[in-house]
Structure 1
Amino acid sequence: MTKHHKPIWDRGQQIDGEMMTYTIGDDWQQDQRLVEVDIRGSIAHVSGLIHAGLLPGEVGANIQKGLADLLESWRRGEWNVEAQDEDVHSAIERRLIDRIGEDGGRMHLGRSRNDQVAVDMRLWLRRASEDVAQAMMNLIKACGAIADRDGHCTIPGYTHLRRAMPSTLWDWIGAHEAAFSEDLEDLDRAATRWSRCPLGSGSGYGIPLPLDREFVAEELGFVGPEVPVTAVQHQRGRAELAYASVLESIALDIGKLAADLWLYSTGEFGFVKLPVAFTTGSSLMPQKRNPDLIELLRGNARQVVADRAALLAVVQDLPSGYHRDFQLIKPPLFRAHDRTLASVRILARFLPELEFQTEVLNEASSDPELQATAKALTAAAQGQSFRQAYRETSLGGSRD
């Protein structure tokens, strides 16, 4: 059983160690990625305390220097959140007190871990969404490059996975590019969910001190404080769910493109040749080059759907106020982010290396059956009933 440091809420009572281990779970591991934003939020909070006259400037400056030093030492790999720590907040506060003395404990004046983790998550969401947005722009650019290079090639358009009408590679990749562009727009709209600062809401019902919430919000780059203070815990999980929903949409769009490429690269289709550098081999069959990347892009899309569902399951049907359940938001959110970002980045590298087989595409597109719709429409445009023209050009029971 893990031996834990004395929790910051300790009052000298006996606490069951197994209970502590269970309630902490893997949260200390999840919190590794919150170290930087937690320190950033704490530095701004201390500035707010100084601004409100609740902390002497000299003491506050010492705390902020200690926090900055902790951040630098963390970046150098000298420490991290440990299993003995309850969470990132406790890990930082304990180390700060060890570094500068009891003044480090004054940092928590006017703050609860409830609003502290809420601001951590919103700062993390801001940075995470910016990373995904940049990767999406690169992916959209890669789609555009295919359109510029090979867009003139004809390709059969499919319904029910049967050849239906002639199309072009420009239209095919353009549809995928449009979907990714809409995802990027959705990401921008979702950012309003994490644009307001939770600090000053305390455990959920405000802090009975003259805190300047506007000042702290501005320090951290938010558009303003979350109002009313009760909205912070009431809406816990909403920003994370909004982000996960966009990630789900991105992942599903990636999965659709992967499914197309998976089919088009088979010997039965032969529309596109996959670059050797992005395929794997078989341990038994020496001739095989396998599309593992495409298959895992497709599979990870489904995993992101599951991650979002797991996140939703955590927050649904909870009454108002803070609940420890919120701790369980982090794992599915972080998984969805990591999977989606990795998929977007590798796909943007992969697409420019595809070799579309022009002759095969043109031959497949020259199938006379693909002209049936155009033939019927031409006859109807010349005055014939469309249904009569449809029947006359029917090729034996094809269905829309």
Structure 2
Amino acid sequence: MKLWDKGISTDKKIDLFTVGNDRSLDEQLAHYDVVASKAHAKMLGKIGMLKTGEVDALLKELEVIDKIIISGEFHIEDEFEDMHSKIEFMLTEALGDTGKKIHTARSRNDQVLVAMQLFLKDELAKIMEDSYNLFDLLLSLAEQHKDTMLPGYTHLQVAMPSSFGLWFSAYAECLVDDMQFLQAAYRVADQNPLGSAAGYGSSFPIDRSFTTQELGFSTLKYNVVAAQMGRGKVERASSEAMAMLSSTVSRLAMDICLYLSQNFNFISFPDELTTGSSIMPHKKNPDVFELIRAKCNKLQSVPNQIALLTTNLPSGYHRDMQLLKEILLPAIQEMKSCLEMMHFSLKSIQVNAKILDDSRYDYLFSVDTLNEKVLNGLPFRDAYKQMGEAIEKGEFIPVKTARHTHEGSLGNLCLNEIRKKMEQVYIGKS
């Protein structure tokens, strides 16, 4: 069954090529098509296109279909092109002519749009929740290890003293920025496109404000052409937000891989969170974090894929847009799994509390030692020159008692302020 079927069969090769793996992807979106169909049926009843009994029958049967979908027993067989045709077939099979009326005043185009945007709202909300949970863990770890010193690096050279508190909370505050992008993507998705039909509206007297409220959208995508042009844009916005988040998570995974190596030995994990070697019995490999790094780096390519797919398309609908699903839907699942595994593993991190006991890290304190001379009245440039000469001659004696007190420094992590910032952003998600 095809919604556009006029009784003329299409070559099987054309069907196979044009449908692709759309059926399996649609099974992830089918629940949202049912949700939108319920709102549409109620609206058709409100404007007199359906009788009360017809609306009630449609809602009851859509509820039955939704339960099948949620149970995992909903499948789109080869004779159906997509979720829309399968759901309409099920309604018609159960309700006869009443089932055929569900497509009144809408197109498959706005069905896809509204289902995708409802789906993205839910998925972005889950990703924001997972991001917040990771943020919360990082801040807890920062508080727990705020006084445990850690070498800071620039150019991968020993630079200045840091701490695990500074390191953990740095990634926590980076997640605040990522949350801003997720919020922006959520707002783009939170506009009702239903009623735009094929992209040019309908001659039926539909009530789009009603469906907007019924579906829980905060606003309407008013212009029907703009609603159709939003396809691709909402997916790109979501992928850009995930790419930003992926960048943060990937970088954290890289740090963990580095710090876990024997050459650094800054951190460790229980044996059950690492893997071994087939020939080297001493190995404890950070496979989980290497895969998180790789998956998150891969996720950063998704916005470019969507951009290339949609660049220079004229206004209106084009079949190219079907491929958006096969790019974005797996990426969303990958993003959630990376966040889940990072949170799961990071809970068990063990830190080395005696890293700076090793004399190789004495040079971390060269800047603090220099600053101490400046505080005692020596001009900065003279103090810098003296320090350089002492280091060259092997006469450097580090001052390890200097205190960093300004906001965001070693001695003043501002964890409460960072938490308040995140709360302010996160609470605004809906």
TM bucket by the smaller chain?
Answer: over 0.9
Instruction: Give the Å deviation of 1:241.
Output: 1.0
1:131-280 matched pairs, under 5 angstroms = 131-280=126-275
Decide whether aligned partners of structure 1 residues 250 and 396 sit closer, same or farther in structure 2, where only a CA change above 3 A counts.
farther
TM-aligned CA distance change 1:196 to 1:274, over 3 Å = same
Measured after TM superposition, the shift of residue 9 of structure 1 is 1.1
Q: How does 1:51-200 map to 2 (within 5 A)?
A: 51-200=46-195
**Matches of 1:365 and 1:304 in 2, distance apart?**
41
- The 8 Å contact of residues 153 and 362 in structure 1, kept in 2 or not, is answered as no
- Verify: 1:370 aligned to 2:364, yes or no: yes
Give the distance between the partners of 1:309 and 1:278, measured in 2 at CA: 33
The alpha-carbon deviation at position 190 of structure 1 amounts to 2.2
CA 1:122–1:12 in 2, change beyond 3 Å: closer, same or farther?
A: same
Q: Is the 8 A contact 2:181 2:244 kept in 1?
A: no
CA RMSD of aligned residues (A): 1.7
TM-score (norm 1): 0.94
Quote the Cα distance in structure 1 between the aligned partners of 2:74 and 2:103: 21
Q: Does the CA contact (< 8 Å) of 1:156 and 1:365 recur in 2?
A: no
Separation (CA, whole Å) in 2 of partners of 1:371 and 1:99: 77
Query: Structure 1 residues 264 and 78 mapped into 2: Cα distance closer, same or farther (>3 Å)?
Result: closer
Query: For residues 207 and 253 of structure 1, what CA distance do their matches in structure 2 show?
Result: 45
Instruction: Give the whole-Å Cα distance in 2 for the aligned partners of 1:94 and 1:31.
Output: 15
Instruction: Determine the C-alpha separation between the residues in 2 that align with 1:83 and 1:136.
Output: 38
Structure-1 residue corresponding to 2:399: none
Q: Which amino acid aligns with 1:146?
A: L
Is the contact between residue 27 and residue 74 of structure 2 (CA under 8 Å) also seen in structure 1?
Answer: no
Contact 1:155 1:364 in 2 (8 A): no
Shift, 1:383, TM fit: 4.1
Confirm or deny: 8 A CA contact 1:308 1:333 kept in the other structure.
no
Rate the CA distance shift 1:82–1:14 in 2: closer, same or farther, 3 A.
Answer: closer
Deviation at 1:350, TM superposition (A): 1.0
Of 327, 335, 341 in structure 2, the residue corresponding to residue 340 of structure 1 is 335
- The structure 2 residue matched to 1:36, chosen from 27, 31, 43, is 31
Indicate how the Cα distance of structure 1 residues 287 and 380 shifts in structure 2: closer, same or farther if over 3 A, else same: closer
Q: CA deviation at 1:382?
A: 4.1
- Separation (CA, whole Å) in 1 of partners of 2:205 and 2:8: 33
- Which amino acid in structure 1 is aligned with residue 218 of structure 2? V
Contact residue 115 and residue 201 of structure 1 kept, 8 A: yes
Which amino acid counterpart does residue 247 of structure 1 have in structure 2? M
Distance 1:207 1:364 in 2: 75
Q: CA deviation at 1:151?
A: 1.7
Aligned-pair distance for 1:269?
0.5
Number of residues of Structure 1 aligned to a counterpart in Structure 2: 391
Displacement of 1:52: 1.0
Indicate yes or no: 2:374 matched with 1:380.
yes
What are the superposed Cα offsets for residues 43-101 of structure 1, whole Å, 9 maximum, x if unpaired?
10011100111111111211111111111123334431233321111111112111221
The question of 1:11 aligning with 2:9 is answered no
Q: Secondary structure at the match of 1:176?
A: helix
2:17 is matched with 22
Identity of aligned residues (%): 32
1:352 aligns with 2:347: yes
CA offsets per residue over residues 112-138 of structure 1, 9 Å max, x none?
010110000110011101111111121
Contact 1:122 1:195 in 2 (8 A): yes
Deviations for 1:317-342, whole angstroms, at most 9, x for unmatched residues? 11111111111111111122111111
Q: Answer yes or no: is the 8 Å Cα contact 2:144–2:165 preserved in 1.
A: no
Distance 1:205 1:137 in 2: 40
